[in-house]
Amino acid sequence: MSESNPPTVRRAASIVRSLKGAVLPARLLLVAKTALAVGLAWMIAPHLPGVTDDYPYYAPLGALVSMYPTLMSSLRSSLQTVLGLVTGIGLAALVVVAVGPSWWSIPIVVGLGVLVSGTGWFGSGQEYIPIAALFVLIIGGQNADAYSLGYLTQMGLGVAIGLAVNILIAPAPLTDHATARVDACQQHLAAHLRDIGNAVSESWPPAHDGWVHDAVSLAETARSVQRALGEADDSRRGNFRAWIGRSDSREGHERLDTLDKITHHIRDISDCLADTIWERPGGLTLDPALVGPLASACHAVADVIGQPQHFSPEAHRARGDAARALRLLWETVDKRTFDVRRVMGPGVLTAMHLRRILMLTVREPG
């Protein structure tokens, strides 16, 4: 098998995509808001009354842990963090009251904190349970009560500042970004099916085998898009900018559900033809007479998948061309089956999957 798409190239492409994700407008806005919240927390923290101003460094930490891309995730994380801190401080308080910090009581309470955090009740705040208990016992020591009050108050101040900044500078809903991810997934599937058609019509083994590697990533691509849609839904909750736009991601979810079904069909085609091309165990022979019609049908159906609007005149023409290409493929399969008295395995399987893909693209506009 040739290596036209070596692992180093794919890793480089992954690095480039990661770097692009770090400088998206939504991410840069989060960077600016986090810096602002941390700065405000550090500025206000020393002015709290009583012993709390002895621990101003916890306020910026509270602001930091409260900053998430969406308002609801920020609120959820903030509440979970505060709950985790209260629980950890409570565990430490029990030790201080009962036996005091010692070489054996500190490991026990930290272990108990790790145990409690494994319940799943505290979400992103679970890691702060053993940390808070450890800090109170080791740093607080004999002044555990004053330290606990300062620790919790300053963290609470930072969390409140972070939430205020996130509310006042509300992030834009991520609906457009999620829709773009769905569009990219759709074009990825279309390109993959075209590559399969190209591979079948090339001399065997094909000079390009990137489609074989990409087939494995199709499901992960769909899962990543599903996560993007979930984040888009989360970004609308409690966000006044979403109320103004009145856009939602329902159509995106419907499209992704269709694309997910199409993905399964394309992966089956890809696996079957890869087994045939490279003569793997279980691979079925592809009759030479089917190569042209099969490649044309793959290309035609790929054109349908790649249409940005399913009910545009271009989409209707593409669907008609695909139906004719599929009909020719079925006729060739039937004729060769009758002529050679042998089942045209890859041809039948590919034709069935392509017909189902074409049926999936015929849906009512949402």
- pLDDT by residue (tens digit) across 256-312? 888 889 988 998 888 888 777 776 776 677 778 888 899 999 999 999 998 887 778
Q: How confident is the model at residue 211 (pLDDT cuts 50, 70, 90)?
A: low
239 pLDDT more than 80:
no
Tell which phi-psi region holds residue 330, choosing left (phi > 0), alpha (psi between -120 and 50) or beta.
alpha
pLDDT of residue 364: 43
Q: How confident is the model at residue 220 (pLDDT cuts 50, 70, 90)?
A: confident
Q: Is 325 helix (H, G, I), strand (E, B) or coil?
A: helix
Architecture of the domain whose range is 175-360: Up-down Bundle (1.20)
Percent of the chain with pLDDT over 90: 31
354 pLDDT more than 90:
yes
Report which listed range, 96-100, 236-240, 247-251, is most confident: 96-100
Q: Locate tokens 């206000």: which residue?
A: 44
19 pLDDT more than 60:
yes
pLDDT of residue 365: 41
The amino acid at 284: L
Say which range, 44-58, 156-170, 196-210, 320-334, has the weakest mean pLDDT. 196-210
| Per-domain boundaries in the chain | 27-168, 175-360
Per DSSP, 359 falls in state H
Tell me the C-alpha distance between 150 and 51, whole Å: 6
pLDDT of residue 322: 93
Q: Work out the mean pLDDT of the chain and round it to a whole number.
A: 82
Please tell me which residue, 171 or 159, carries the higher pLDDT value: 159
pLDDT of residue 1: 39
Mean pLDDT of 110-139: 91
Predicted TM-score of the model (pTM): 0.64
Q: How confident is the model at residue 208 (pLDDT cuts 50, 70, 90)?
A: low
The amino acid at 63: A
Mean pLDDT of 186-206: 81
Mean pLDDT of 179-204: 84
Q: What is the pLDDT of residues 63-112, one digit of tens each?
A: 999 988 878 888 888 999 999 999 999 999 988 888 878 889 899 999 99
Q: What is the pLDDT of residues 299-326, one digit of tens each?
A: 999 999 988 877 788 888 999 999 999 9
pLDDT of residue 301: 94
For the record, the structure tokens of 360 come out as: 């999936």
245 pLDDT more than 60:
no
Q: Burial of 347 by CB count in 10 Å (0-12 exposed, 13-18 middle, 19+ buried)?
A: buried
pLDDT of residue 96: 85
Please tell me which residue, 18 or 196, carries the higher pLDDT value: 196
Identify the H or E element spanning 78: helix 71-98
Among the residues of 169-249, which ranges form H helices? 175-201, 210-236, 240-245
Tell me the C-alpha distance between 285 and 337, whole Å: 13
pLDDT of residue 152: 92
Tell me the C-alpha distance between 60 and 28, whole Å: 19
Mean pLDDT of 19-23: 69
Mean pLDDT of 191-195: 88
